[in-house]
């Protein structure tokens, strides 16, 4: 059975997920699976029942995609036994690190329901991944305004440099970053710009060191 690392972007409007095989060869997009769900927001923001139905729709979608990753040949007579099989690793984008508004509260409520239902169905937990950590891991830095438009930078990199399917949208791209962050923790291989970033930083460091060396008095230099 294939072991999977799944990254979730549990936004309310377009939740997305990307699954990478734990033995993934970076760039082998045929081995990658992706999902996107389009939900409808309640017309009235005070419609609690409508909001709860939206949460349940997202949870049902998440459970369905996890189930689809398990081999059809396996009979899940005891789904909690899957916890011990170590074939599924779930990671989710953490929204709580910077957002403090009503929308973020709804996303955290929805995420809580998804976590509880995933645990109840499979006995699996979902690990938080901060956006900052995922971006720094993949890009070598965190693209932020005003220097960068994060969404544009991420999609440009994922599509043009990583060669991901261009049928994806920004939510699948975010889910990919989460999945890669999770896969790196599991010791897997990922696509990254870190090598280029390290070379650039090294070049800057060497230039600075040389500049400082020129300014030192002659007697302070090592023979």
Closest CA to 1 of 63, 92, 75: 75
| Token couple for 153 | 């930078």
Predicted local confidence at residue 80, as pLDDT: 52
User: The whole model's pTM is what?
Assistant: 0.80
Predicted local confidence at residue 41, as pLDDT: 85
Predicted local confidence at residue 44, as pLDDT: 84
| Token couple for 96 | 């709580």
* Residues 6 or more apart whose Cβ sits within 8 Å of residue 149: 143
Q: How many Å apart are CA 94 and CA 126, to the nearest integer? A: 11
Lowest mean pLDDT among 92-96, 120-124, 150-154: 92-96
> Highest mean pLDDT: which of 40-44, 135-139, 197-201?
135-139
Higher local confidence (pLDDT), 201 or 169: 169
Evaluate if residue 127 carries a pLDDT over 90: yes
The average pLDDT across 74-80 equals 50
Q: Class for domain 4-194, per CATH? A: alpha beta
Around Cβ 72, how many Cβ atoms within 10 Å? 7
Higher local confidence (pLDDT), 199 or 17: 17
Structure confidence by residue, pLDDT tens digits, 101-110 = 667 777 888 8
The average pLDDT across 30-51 equals 90
Predicted local confidence at residue 1, as pLDDT: 66
Evaluate if residue 157 carries a pLDDT over 90: yes
For the chain, which residues make up each domain, given as ranges?
4-194
The average pLDDT across 126-131 equals 94
Lowest mean pLDDT among 53-57, 124-128, 218-222: 218-222
DSSP helix/strand/coil, 211: helix
């Amino acid at each position: 059975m294939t072991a999977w690392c799944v990254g979730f972007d549990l936004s309310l409007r377009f939740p997305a997920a990307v699954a990478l095989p734990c033995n993934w060869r970076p760039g082998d997009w045929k081995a990658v699976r992706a999902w996107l769900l389009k939900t409808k927001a309640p017309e009235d923001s005070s419609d609690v029942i409508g909001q709860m139905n939206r949460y349940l729709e997202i949870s049902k979608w998440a459970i369905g995609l996890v189930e689809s990753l398990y081999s059809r040949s396996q009979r899940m007579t005891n789904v909690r036994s899957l916890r011990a099989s170590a074939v599924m690793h779930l990671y989710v984008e953490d929204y709580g690190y910077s957002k403090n508004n009503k929308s973020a509260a709804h996303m955290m409520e929805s995420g809580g329901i998804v976590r509880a239902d995933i645990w109840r169905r499979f006995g699996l937990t979902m690990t938080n991944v901060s956006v900052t950590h995922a971006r720094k891991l993949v890009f070598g830095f965190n693209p932020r305004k005003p220097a960068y438009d994060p969404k544009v930078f991420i999609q440009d990199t994922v599509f043009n440099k990583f060669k991901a399917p261009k049928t994806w949208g920004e939510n699948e791209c975010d889910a990919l970053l989460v999945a890669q962050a999770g896969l790196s923790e599991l010791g897997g291989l990922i696509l990254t710009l870190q090598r280029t970033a390290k070379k650039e930083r090294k070049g800057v460091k060497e230039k600075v060191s040389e500049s400082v060396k020129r300014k030192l008095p002659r007697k302070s230099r090592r023979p």
